[in-house]
């Protein structure tokens, strides 16, 4: 039964239809274009796609301002195209997750227009109003520096409305049972059209108590259970992947002690401390974050990511740690955003150095959870800092060295394709990389294939093995009597480390042999039971812990590749 939990070991790829592939030459990506790229995604090894919002929207926040939850924005295609797409994905064994943005609507949503125009409207209480300007109207902005307040006066309504995000995104009154019923209806609708679940936007704000008199927004966690129950009833294998950048001590409130709330959450704690480790070569805070976020129900899973469509939020680091990451990866003011983060893409942050990119990706694929890739990172795409805020990292996918990177035939793409310089489509594109065995694209494809052969990462228990060197992280996973072990060197210099695998009892013998899954360079423990490994600058190793019986079986089978994956299912 438990093997059915597909999300425990999925390979999730996030993309925006708008910037992926334009099929009809109007400069805007669309579902038909995306469909033509499904074989590319399947070839890469992707098993689930997370789509950014594609519903009807005035597009003032890249679709995170929805004006109709039950419509496909005509710029991207029709309902027919959408259903063809989910079907085509399904045929290739790829699931589709979509964004569920229900903390707020667009201020152009008919509900809001109705609500503001008439105090007796049935939609009035779907939003949060105040007759007077609330005292803390200048507090709690999500986009400080850009967003001025969280309450704005509405002329027609002659009242103030609450908006946790931009002023054109009025918050829904999610405590209102009618709003909750509508959220279920939205989920049920898209489930029916072929999706396998939702990336729920801004979860802590969705479930927070809202109102002019609320001083500390307390979370109504019970709502999460209701979402899950509804989904489970409609379609048993659908999930909610929550965006909740919260303190580790609150994680279990989101997962639910009984595993009855969110199926998945993005691990923002590990994400931020991972970037700190990459910046400082000190893995100790990362290990702390891993340990702190270890507890989760059997059915719960972390989403592991490097960069997403937003800024790299460093708000959970100490001031000193944040300064270190800024200095290493975003030293210019223009690279930073909202007083807490960096808006660049991964490749430019790491200086385009493939060793460091591989290290970062290798970590994302082997830290405890399910990897979530951002489109374009598999080819090392860059950013365009001349574009405002987060849009700098949302430029069109670079497919080839044809004009506009092969993204569109139009001369007016909705966002300029990166051109010229080290990250221009002329050099960085999928077509060129497909032809080079050592390209980042082909490396990513190979590492994904191997990741699928180590289900221990998704299912197993991890332990961090002490090497005495803070620059080197060694993690072991155990599951069903199998173990795998990963070594990562964050340092710019080679390191020599010694460690014992740490298995006991019958398994102690196994620990003496480490089968390298990525090369022929296996490791045998010395007389003291320890492995002595010299690992190159930014190096990484993936090992299967194998004992004598492994070697025997290999001989019986007449050799065969040493990189054999899982020993049993």
Binding mask 120-159 for ligand BGC (x = CB under 6 A): ----------------------------------------
| Residue from the set 137, 141, 195, 202 that interacts with ligand BGC by CB under 6 A | 202
Tell me how many residues contact ligand BGC (CB under 6 A): 9
Nearer to Ca ion, 180 or 395 (CB): 395
Q: Please state, in angstroms and rounded to a whole number, the distance separating the CA atoms of residues 222 and 218.
A: 12
Q: Measuring CA to CA, which residue among 46, 59, 160, 13 is closest to residue 414?
A: 59
| Contact call for residue 28 and Ca ion (CB under 5 A) | yes
Measure the N-to-C terminal CA separation of the chain; round to a whole number of Å.
Answer: 13
Binder of residue 378, out of Ca ion, ligand BGC, none (CB less than 5 to 8 A by kind):
none
Q: Is 339 helix (H, G, I), strand (E, B) or coil?
A: coil
Q: How far is CA 395 from CA 47, 129, 443, in A?
A: 23, 37, 23
Beta strands in 204-317 (DSSP E): 239-242, 264-266, 301-305, 312-313
Binder of residue 101, out of ligand BGC, Ca ion, none (CB less than 5 to 8 A by kind):
ligand BGC
The least CB distance from residue 148 to ligand BGC, in Å, is 16
For residues 426 and 404, the answer to whether their CB atoms sit within 8 Å is no
| Contact call for residue 230 and ligand BGC (CB under 6 A) | no
How does strand 68-72 pair with strand 55-56? antiparallel
Instruction: Look up 201 and say whether it is catalytic.
Output: yes
| Contact call for residue 24 and Ca ion (CB under 5 A) | yes
Nearer to ligand BGC, 202 or 304 (CB): 202
Nearer to ligand BGC, 160 or 305 (CB): 305
What phi and psi values does residue 359 have, to the nearest 5 degrees? -60, -50
Nearer to Ca ion, 29 or 460 (CB): 29
The least CB distance from residue 35 to Ca ion, in Å, is 12
Sites for Ca ion among residues 30-59 (CB under 5 A): 30
For residues 182 and 175, the answer to whether their CB atoms sit within 8 Å is no
Tell me how many residues contact Ca ion (CB under 5 A): 5
Binding mask 78-107 for ligand BGC (x = CB under 6 A): -----------------------x------
Q: Please state, in angstroms and rounded to a whole number, the distance separating the CA atoms of residues 208 and 218.
A: 5
| Residue from the set 64, 329, 361, 499 that interacts with ligand BGC by CB under 6 A | 64
| Contact call for residue 311 and ligand BGC (CB under 6 A) | no
Binder of residue 26, out of ligand BGC, Ca ion, none (CB less than 5 to 8 A by kind):
Ca ion
* 125: its two tokens: 């209480």
| Contact call for residue 302 and ligand BGC (CB under 6 A) | no
| Contact call for residue 243 and ligand BGC (CB under 6 A) | yes
Please classify residue 547 by burial: count the beta carbons closer than 10 Å to its beta carbon, then call 0-12 exposed, 13-18 middle and 19+ buried.
middle
Cβ neighbours of residue 438 closer than 8 Å, sequence gap 6 or more? none
Binder of residue 486, out of Ca ion, ligand BGC, none (CB less than 5 to 8 A by kind):
none
Q: Please state, in angstroms and rounded to a whole number, the distance separating the CA atoms of residues 234 and 184.
A: 10
For residues 379 and 440, the answer to whether their CB atoms sit within 8 Å is yes
Find the catalytic residue in 30, 61, 99, 201: 201
Q: Is 287 helix (H, G, I), strand (E, B) or coil?
A: helix
Question: Which of the residues are catalytic?
Answer: 201, 243
Binding residues for ligand BGC, per CB under 6 A?
61, 64, 101, 165, 201-202, 243, 309-310
């Amino acid at each position: 039964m438990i093997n059915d939990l597909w999300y425990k070991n999925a390979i999730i790829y996030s993309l925006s239809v708008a910037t992926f592939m334009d099929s009809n030459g109007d400069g805007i990506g669309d579902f038909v274009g995306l469909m033509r790229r499904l074989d590319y995604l399947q070839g890469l090894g992707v098993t689930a796609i997370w789509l950014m919002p594609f519903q009807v929207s005035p597009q003032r926040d890249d679709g995170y301002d929805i004006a109709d939850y039950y419509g496909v924005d005509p710029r991207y295609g029709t309902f027919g195209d959408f259903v063809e797409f989910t079907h085509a994905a399904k045929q290739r064994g790829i699931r589709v997750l979509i964004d569920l943005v229900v903390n707020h609507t667009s201020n152009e949503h008919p509900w809001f227009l109705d609500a503001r125009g008439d105090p007796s409207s049935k939609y009035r209480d779907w939003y949060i109003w105040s007759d007077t300007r609330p005292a803390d109207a200048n507090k709690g902005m999500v986009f400080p520096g850009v967003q001025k307040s969280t309450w704005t006066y509405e002329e027609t309504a002659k009242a103030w409305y609450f908006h946790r995000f931009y002023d054109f995104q009025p918050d829904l009154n999610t405590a209102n049972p009618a709003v909750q019923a509508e959220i279920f209806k939205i989920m049920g609708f898209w489930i029916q059209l072929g999706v396998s679940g939702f990336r729920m936007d801004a979860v802590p704000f969705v479930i927070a108590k809202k109102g002019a008199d609320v001083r500390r927004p307390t979370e109504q966690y019970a709502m999460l259970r209701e979402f899950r129950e509804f989904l489970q009833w409609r379609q048993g294998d659908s999930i909610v992947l929550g965006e909740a950048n919260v303190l580790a001590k609150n994680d279990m409130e989101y997962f639910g002690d009984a595993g009855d709330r969110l199926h998945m959450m993005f691990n923002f704690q590990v994400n931020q401390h991972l970037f700190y480790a990459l910046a400082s070569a000190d893995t100790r805070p990362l290990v702390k974050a891993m340990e702190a976020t270890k507890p989760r129900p059997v059915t719960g899973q972390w989403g592991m990511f490097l960069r997403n469509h937003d800024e790299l939020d460093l708000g959970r680091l100490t001031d000193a740690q944040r300064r270190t990451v800024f200095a290493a990866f975003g030293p210019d003011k223009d690279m930073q955003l909202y007083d807490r983060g960096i808006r660049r893409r991964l490749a430019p942050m790491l200086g385009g150095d493939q060793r460091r990119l591989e290290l970062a990706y290798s970590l994302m694929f082997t830290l405890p959870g399910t990897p979530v890739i951002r489109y374009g990172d598999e080819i090392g795409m860059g950013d365009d800092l001349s574009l405002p805020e987060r849009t700098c990292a949302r430029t069109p996918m670079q497919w080839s060295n044809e004009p506009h990177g092969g993204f569109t035939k139009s001369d007016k793409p909705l966002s300029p394709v990166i051109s010229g310089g080290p990250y221009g489509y002329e050099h960085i594109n999928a077509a060129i990389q497909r032809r080079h065995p050592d390209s980042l694209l082909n490396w990513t494809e190979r590492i994904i294939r191997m990741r699928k052969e180590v289900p221990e990462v998704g299912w197993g228990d991890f332990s961090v093995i002490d090497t005495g060197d803070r620059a080197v992280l060694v993690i072991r996973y155990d599951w069903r009597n199998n173990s795998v072990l990963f070594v990562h060197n964050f340092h710019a210099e080679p390191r020599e480390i010694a460690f014992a695998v740490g298995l006991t009892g019958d398994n102690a013998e196994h620990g003496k042999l480490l089968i390298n899954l990525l090369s022929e360079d296996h490791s045998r423990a010395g007389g003291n039971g320890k492995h002595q490994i010299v690992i190159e600058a930014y190096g990484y190793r993936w090992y299967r812990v194998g004992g004598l019986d492994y070697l025997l079986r290999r001989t019986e089978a007449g050799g065969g590749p040493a990189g054999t994956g899982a020993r049993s299912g």
